[in-house]
Amino acid sequence: MTDLNALSYTAEHEWISIDGPIGEEGTVATVGITDFAAEKLGDVVFVELPGVDSGVSAGQVVGEIESTKSVGELYAPLTGDVVAANQAVVDDPSLVNSDPYGEGWLVKIRVDTSAPAELLDRAAYVALTGGDE
């Protein structure tokens, strides 16, 4: 099981797992949407992800997550270069619902060391969603 307390979050209901300090060269962030977002969307039926090697800036819309009922936009939570996009999710969008913190990950971004990052910790994110874990 993913340790949800070890992840960072955004107000756009994304989770970020960072493999090193954000200010350090080569640090890669894995990004997905939270179980809260997945549940709000309903069954995800279409995912569009940014191309590998594309540059993204924090706050920019870089993809889409569609359910039968609605459309969610994927925002880049950090500035950097996309180093991987999860083809398994493109092929089987239901992974976003069944395993949002695991196999349902969306993109990996090599983080630009010069850009600031404004991320939430678990407590702040849970408070944002009105939850009381």
Q: Which residue is it, tokens 């309903």?
A: 42
CB atoms within 10 A of CB 123: 11
Q: Are 79 and 112 in contact (CB under 8 A)?
A: yes
Consecutive H or E run containing 126: helix 122-128
Closest approach, Cβ 76 to other proteins, in A, equals 17
Binding-site string for other proteins from residue 94 to residue 133, where x marks contact by CB under 8 A and - marks none? x--x--------------------------------x---
Closest approach, Cβ 45 to other proteins, in A, equals 5
Closest approach, Cβ 30 to other proteins, in A, equals 21
Among the candidate windows 49-57, 60-68, 78-86, 113-121, which touches other proteins by CB under 8 A? Answer: 60-68
CA distance 37 to 13: 6
Is 89 in a helix, a strand, or coil? helix
Tokens of 130: 């009105």
From 6, 52, 71, 124, residue interacting with other proteins (rule: CB under 8 A): 71
Contact between 42 and other proteins (CB under 8 A)?
A: yes
Contact between 92 and other proteins (CB under 8 A)?
A: no
Spatial CA neighbour of 57 closest among 79, 29, 33, 72: 79
Is 88 in a helix, a strand, or coil? helix
Closest approach, Cβ 69 to other proteins, in A, equals 5
The binding site for other proteins (CB under 8 A) comprises 12-13, 37, 39-40, 42-43, 45-46, 48, 64, 66-72, 94, 97, 130
